[in-house]
Chain A
Amino acid sequence: MSLLSADSRRDFEIRRYPLLVYGLVPLASLVLQAWLPRVVGRYDWFDLPLVITVYFALGRRSPIQGTIMGAGMGLFEDALSHHAIGVNGIAKTVVGFLAASVGIRIEVENQIVRLLLNFSLSLLSSVIYFFTYRFLLGLALEWSWLTELMRAVGNSLIAIVLFPSLDRLQMRE
């Protein structure tokens, strides 16, 4: 894991994708996230919008873009649920910002780094969600940390498979 200055890494390693990819991949992740739980039943231990947010934030290395993408994905997820709109939005906003900030400073091509990043950011997202819902809003919430742990593991495994596939979509100069 080599440490570089933020500006030099950003200049050298910003990934660019066709515009269609920015639109279709997040949309596909939201649609699949809504549809797949009906197929896999109770084993829906994954959060595809979170994985995609982390991927684009790491690739673009822009905290603002990561923040906006995280906020958008989270708000869409909230809109499909029956909970308050903004809880997922806040969690994924922070995750997008942090992923982009980390991506500036460390090498993120390594699979182990990706796995650890996804695992830790998934848990962080759950913590922020729980904190916002329980303490900021003061609402009652049934919660299972075991499920959140399983979700973090699931996200990490999906990221290992998905990130190399999405890498092929980037524009080569």
Chain B
Amino acid sequence: MDSFFARYRNLVVLLAILMAQIAGLAVQVRHNSTGINTLDPSDPSGVRLIRLWGNAIISPPERLIHGTRIGLSSLWTNYIDLRHVRDENHDLQETVDRLRLEQAALLEDARQGQRLQALLGFQEKYIYTTVAAQAYGSSGSDRSHVFYIDKGSREDLKPDMAVITADGIVGKVRDVFLHTAQVLAVNDATSGAGVILESTRIRGILRGDAVGRLEVVGILADQRIQPGEKVLTAGGDLIFPRGLPVGVVEKVVPDPDRDAFIDIIVKPAAHLERLDEVLVITSTEPRFSPQEEQDIAASESQKAVVPTAIKDQVKASEIMAEKLPGLIDPNLPPDQQPLHDTSNPNPAPPPPQPLHADEFSPGAATTPGSETDKAPAPRPQTPKPVVPHAAEGNGSKPQPAEVSKPLTAPQRNP
């Protein structure tokens, strides 16, 4: 027996190691009800431990190399950028102040919109909280389009959180470690995201092909789909919020497996091959920072101040109107109206008289079919012109100066 192992020890070791790995693979694969084998999405504890070790050993030197490269490349550019930085900083600070106020108003609008949509039964999601992260490494294989970011469970990252850039979606968090996280890129073959074409409103599933291109699959052949059309997230996958840019249609190819279907090759909006800064969407619920809350409160208080001031003004004018004497008292006969009160030393001047009285002149109002339609309108009474003489102090009511008298009786226009 000993001689057998001594003679074939190379083969025995090879077979032992191969068998151990095959046994390890067996516990990672599940046979589902549809008869298809799939990888267990939740790694068994032993497998997770290996991933943890691999990440713990490879990540630190990888981050060191990445940081060194970034540092060296930015050394010169930072020096160039430092010129005029003080003026730029001042300008930017002013811009930030202005934008903060605008942002507060927009947040209010967003909250209001969300409330209204909730009333209407929409399940819309908005991006409220993101964590910026640096992408520093990859899986090292084009068979597995994953990359690593320098934020992990310490920053409250969790699996299935969406990862985006300002240009478009990038992927989703697959595995989270203490200081790092593994992100599955959207161009991986095992990835999937619900998308919609912007103008034709056709929905499909986004995934990667064998060479890492983005493609939308599961679409019936449609002549309306043209290169250049924008592709957006549909929001139905519970990972990516709706409306985020995905890319543009590059070309349409027939589905090799199904006759009536087509595949859409998509040019990604984000630079998936060379990612540096990414954003992880950690919350789609409203959660404002203390500064934002303060800004919103200030904005709301300013809004509340304006109607209050208007109300105060209206109230004051009403009080003044009650205290001031009226020109017409409905309880008094016409000859005793305050307008004819001679005891008032400062009476209100009567309205000026027209040069040519017409139907709109005081006292010339007519009704259709009345006598005044046929007869000339009575000549308006003009008050006797009296030169005001307040200095006399006789208590007489001063009259306005005569402006002119009509030369002829006013005629109604036919």
Closest chain A residue to B25, Cβ basis: A86
- Asked if A63 meets B17 with Cβ closer than 8 Å, knowing A38-B138, A81-B139, the reply is no
How far does the alpha carbon of A64 sit from the alpha carbon of B10 in the complex, in Å? 6
How far does the alpha carbon of A172 sit from the alpha carbon of B297 in the complex, in Å? 77
B9-A144 in contact (CB<8A): no
Q: Could you mark each residue 122-155 of chain B with 1 if its beta carbon is under 8 Å from any beta carbon of chain A, else 0?
A: 0000000000000111111111101110000000
Q: Which residues of B contact A89 (CB under 8 A)?
A: 21
How far does the alpha carbon of A84 sit from the alpha carbon of B209 in the complex, in Å? 19
Closest chain A residue to B182, Cβ basis: A82
Q: Which residues of A contact B188 (CB under 8 A)?
A: 82
- Asked if A37 meets B138 with Cβ closer than 8 Å, knowing A82-B174, A139-B29, A141-B189, the reply is yes
B29-A81 in contact (CB<8A): no
Interface hits, B273-292 → A, CB 8 Å: 273-275
For the complex, is B293 an interface residue (Cβ under 8 Å from A)?
A: no
A144-B10 in contact (CB<8A): no
How far does the alpha carbon of A27 sit from the alpha carbon of B59 in the complex, in Å? 11
Interface hits, A79-95 → B, CB 8 Å: 79-90, 93-94
Q: Could you mark each residue 159-175 of chain B with 1 if its beta carbon is under 8 Å from any beta carbon of chain A, else 0?
A: 00000000000000011
A136-B58 in contact (CB<8A): no
How far does the alpha carbon of A31 sit from the alpha carbon of B69 in the complex, in Å? 14
Q: Which residues of A contact B22 (CB under 8 A)?
A: 86, 90, 136
Q: Which of A68-76, A105-113, A116-124, A161-169 contacts B (4 or more CB under 8 A)?
A: A68-76
B25-A80 in contact (CB<8A): no
A82-B146 in contact (CB<8A): yes
A63-B62 in contact (CB<8A): no
B65-A137 in contact (CB<8A): no
A84-B29 in contact (CB<8A): yes
Q: Which of B45-53, B89-97, B340-348 contacts A (4 or more CB under 8 A)?
A: B45-53
Expressed in whole angstroms, the minimum distance between the Cβ of A47 and any Cβ of chain B is: 8
How far does the alpha carbon of A5 sit from the alpha carbon of B138 in the complex, in Å? 43
For the complex, is A21 an interface residue (Cβ under 8 Å from B)?
A: no
For the complex, is A4 an interface residue (Cβ under 8 Å from B)?
A: no
- The residue that A81 contacts in the complex, of B10, B146, B212, with Cβ under 8 A, is B146
For the complex, is A12 an interface residue (Cβ under 8 Å from B)?
A: no
Residue count of chain B within 8 Å CB distance of chain A: 56
B25-A34 in contact (CB<8A): no
For the complex, is A142 an interface residue (Cβ under 8 Å from B)?
A: yes
- The residue that A27 contacts in the complex, of B38, B39, B57, B190, with Cβ under 8 A, is B57
- The residue that B24 contacts in the complex, of A44, A85, A93, with Cβ under 8 A, is A85
Expressed in whole angstroms, the minimum distance between the Cβ of B185 and any Cβ of chain A is: 10
Expressed in whole angstroms, the minimum distance between the Cβ of B25 and any Cβ of chain A is: 4
A93-B18 in contact (CB<8A): yes
For the complex, is B211 an interface residue (Cβ under 8 Å from A)?
A: yes
Closest A-B pairs by Cβ, 5 of them: A79-B54, A81-B144, A142-B210, A33-B140, A142-B189
Binding site for A on B (CB under 8 A): 9-10, 13-14, 17-18, 21-22, 24-25, 28-29, 36-39, 47, 50-51, 53-55, 57-58, 61-62, 65-66, 135-144, 146-148, 174-175, 182, 184, 188-190, 208-212, 273-275
Given contacts A47-B141, A80-B139, A142-B208, 9 further A-B contacts (CB under 8 A): A34-B137, A41-B273, A63-B13, A64-B13, A80-B144, A80-B146, A83-B143, A139-B37, A147-B211
In the complex, 12 of the A-B residue pairs with CB atoms within 8 angstroms, ordered by the A residue number, are A33-B140, A38-B66, A38-B136, A41-B273, A68-B13, A78-B54, A79-B55, A84-B29, A90-B25, A129-B143, A139-B39, A144-B210
Binding site for B on A (CB under 8 A): 27, 30-31, 33-35, 37-38, 41-42, 44, 47, 49, 63-64, 67-68, 71, 75-90, 93-94, 97, 101, 129, 132, 136-144, 147
